[in-house]
Amino acid sequence: MPHHKSAKKRLRQDKKRREANKAVKSAVKTAVKKVRTAETGEEAAKHLSSAESALDRAAKKHVIHWRNAARKKSRLAKRVNSLSS
């Protein structure tokens, strides 16, 4: 338990940030899963744009590293292209 006033504030801030980051990561995982579990190529392509958007937002907020987001987007796009061809 924190004893200093600043440490108590830091604890509150960390909790708030952890919950926000958790929500963003959950949204990313859901969007990526929709692309991966899509039955057809066109369905996957439809979900790909929302997944890319979610990844870009997470990277912009520094929840995930921008290179991690780029790698995931690339792999998803490759998967969608293989489904559609």
Give pTM, 2 decimals: 0.86
For 61-79, what is each residue's pLDDT tens digit? 999 999 999 999 999 999 9
**44 contacts 82 by C-beta, under 8 angstroms:** no
Q: What pLDDT does 84 receive? A: 78
Interval 8-53: pLDDT, tens: 999 999 999 999 999 999 999 999 999 999 989 899 999 999 999 9
**The token pair that represents 52 in the structure block:** 């890319």
The four Cα atoms 23, 35, 69, 77 give a dihedral, to 10 degrees, of -170
CA distance 13 to 20: 11
